[in-house]
Structures are given as C-alpha cells and as structure tokens.
Amino acid sequence: MGLITPSSTGNDAEQKPLVPRVTSLEGKHIGLYDNGKPAAEPLLTAVQEKLAQRYPDATFEWYHVEHLNQIKSDDEQESVVDWAENVDIGIGAIGDCGSCTKFLAWGIELIEDAGTPGVGLIDEGFELDYQSNAVERGRPLRYKKTPVRCETTDLDRVREEVSNEVVDGIEEELTRSLNDKERAEQVAQ
C-alpha cells in the first residue's frame, strides 16, 4: 500500500569534523561562553575558579549572550565567532532547558567554526537533547554532564557541585584526541 509520508524529507546535515583538541590547559587563554541562562554565569564562575587553581598561568575571557534567543541573530553569531577566534579553548554553559540546550549546542558549534575546540556543560537530564541538536548540526559536539540543575544560581552551592570529577571531565573533553567519527572520516560500514 502506498503511503504518502507526513514527515519532511529533511535536510541531511553534512558531517563536519571537530577541531583538534589541545594537549593541556596549561597557560591557555580560556573562553567562557555564557548562553544567557541564569545558571550559566555561576556555573562558569565556579569552573573558572577551579581551573585557575589548577593552572595559575591560564587566563580567561568571557562572552555573555544577553538574552537567550539573541543567538538566533547573524550579528550575534558573528560576534561569537570573532570572540572565539581569540581564545585557545571554549567552555560553554548551560544546557538546562529545551531552548537553552539547543542554543548551547549552537554556541559550541560557533566556537568550533572559529577553529577553537569547545565543550558544552549540561544538566545531566538534557544529554539526549544536546546530542540530537548536535546531530542536527552535523557534528558530534562535545559536552560534559554536571550535577548543576536548572535555575540553581546560588554560587556557594554551585561551587560544591562543581567537583574535581566535573573539572577532570571538562579537561578530558578538551584534550582527548578525536576519534574517526569526530574527524568526520568515512568509516567502513
């Protein structure tokens, strides 16, 4: 029986490679990308504090998206790319709701577009959401799950939740070498 499909034929996104990782965070100029969600700034602040302890020579530079939806505009996107070109690595936050997880994936993609390795920090409940938005963009964008949950803005609490394990994981995503899929090389089926 012939059925007429109700779904879109879809735009199969072209598979694109990730930017090669760095060997270490030592002495790096680290970008902190705040996607405009209330929990993003305290989370990145706690991450910055931990990294500054581990790497006293590292320097930091922030980018704040003022309103979440602003990332939809071409001007904002260009400005993220410009900013990301001047940092060695980019750490973005936070994916803790539907739109913000999507826009975080977009932000990490822009960081990668600038030739800078990026990682997105997400609420652990939003892993599939982040992954599927990355699929849609054609890149297995890297991420690190954190126990920091939606709308937690109390900095002292966030400091506790950003454990050594979380910081280790962020480093791992920024330094672990790319696999075949991430290099977007054709893998024999």
Partner 1 sequence: MSNQTQKEQSLEEINRSLYKEGLTDGLPVIPPTDERVEEMLRGTDNPRDHVLGEIGNNDNPLTVEKLASNAVMAGCLPTYMPVLEAGVRALADPDSNSIQFSVSTGSWAYQWIVNGPVQDALDIESGSGAFGPSFHANQTIARALGIAYRNTAKIYPGEKDMGVMGNPAKFSFLAGENEDSSPWEPYHVTNGFDEEDSTISLAGPNSWVQWFPHENSAQDVLRGMIDNTPESMRASSGEDLNATITHFVNPYNAEELEKEDLSKEEIKEYIVENSYRKTDGTSNSMLDTDKVVPRQVRQYDDTDSINIVATGGAGRVNAIAGTSIGGPVTKKIEFPDEWDSLVEEYSVEREWVPTEGFYD
Partner 2 sequence: MAHHQPREDSISTVSRSLYRQGLTDGLPVIPPTDERVGKMLRGTDKPRDHVLGRLGNDDSPITVEQLASNAVMAGCLPTSMPILEAGIRALADPSSNSIQFSVSTGGWAYQWVLNGSVLDDFGVAAGSGPFGRNTRVSRATARALGIAYRNTTKIYPGEKDMGVMANPLKFSLFLAENETTSPWEPYHVTHGFDEGESTITLGGPNSFIQWESGADSPEAILGGMIENTPPSMVGGEQQGGDFDQTILHVLSSEDLETLAEAGLTKRGVKEYVSENSYIPIEEFQKGVLWDDALDDYHGKVDSRQVPQISGPEYVKLVAGGRSESQSNVVIGPSIGGPVTKKIEFPDEWGSLVTEYAVEG
Comparing CB distances to partner 1, the nearer of 87 and 152 is 152
CA distances from 18 to 51, 58, 109, 114, 117 (A): 23, 23, 9, 11, 7
Tell me: does residue 126 bind partner 1 (CB under 8 A). yes
CA distances from 66 to 22, 40, 118, 137, 175 (A): 29, 11, 20, 23, 29
* Min separation Cβ 119 and partner 1, Å: 14
139: buried, middle or exposed (CB in 10 Å: 19+, 13-18, 0-12)?
A: buried
* Min separation Cβ 149 and partner 1, Å: 5
Spatial neighbors of 75 by CB under 8 A, at least 6 apart, are none
Comparing CB distances to partner 2, the nearer of 52 and 150 is 150
Comparing CB distances to partner 2, the nearer of 27 and 98 is 98
Binding site for partner 2 (CB under 8 A): 1-8, 10-11, 13, 36-38, 66-70, 97-99, 101-102, 126, 128-129, 132-133, 136, 150-151
How many whole angstroms separate alpha carbon 185 and alpha carbon 71?
Answer: 30
Tell me: does residue 132 bind partner 1 (CB under 8 A). yes
* Min separation Cβ 127 and partner 1, Å: 9
Pick from 151, 160, 168, 185: which binds partner 1 (CB under 8 A)?
A: 151
Which region among 75-83, 113-121, 134-142, 164-172 touches partner 1 (by CB under 8 A)?
134-142
How many whole angstroms separate alpha carbon 139 and alpha carbon 24?
Answer: 23
Pick from 20, 78, 179, 183: which binds partner 1 (CB under 8 A)?
A: 179
* Min separation Cβ 135 and partner 1, Å: 5
**From the list partner 2, partner 1, none, partner contacted by residue 36 (C-beta under 5 to 8 A by kind):** partner 2
Residue in the block written with tokens 């931990």? 50
Comparing CB distances to partner 1, the nearer of 92 and 95 is 95
Q: What angle do CA 183, 184, 188 make, to 5 degrees?
A: 110
What's the residue count for the chain?
A: 189
